Amino acid sequence: MAAVLAVKTALHGGASATGVVVCALCCGLWLGLLRVAHHRIRALSAGTPPAALAPRHATTAVLCAVAMAVCAAVLVV
């Protein structure tokens, strides 16, 4: 959702270089979060009880979500 809002905000009133860079960063972070989520969904749907989420994957998901929120705040302000 933050990626969609970033694109909308970056393109509203003309595209600036900063807006495009922050928008691209936000979209990249969204793709990172989707990758971690896809990995977890596949583990959960394997049929056997999955192992606990690896700390590295959990940290990546949290950092992507927080960074997307920061990017969205930068674009709005």
The 10s digit of each residue's pLDDT in 44-75 is 888 888 788 889 888 888 888 888 788 777 76
pLDDT of residue 43: 84
Rounded CA-CA distance 16/11 in Å is: 8
In this predicted structure, the answer to whether residue 31 has a pLDDT above a threshold of 80 is yes
Contact yes or no for 43/51 (Cβ under 8 A): yes
Q: Could you report the per-residue pLDDT of 36-52, keeping only the tens digit for each?
A: 889 888 888 888 887 88
DSSP state of 15: -
pLDDT of residue 7: 67
Q: Is 13 left (phi over 0), alpha (psi -120 to 50) or beta?
A: left
pLDDT of residue 73: 77
DSSP state of 14: S
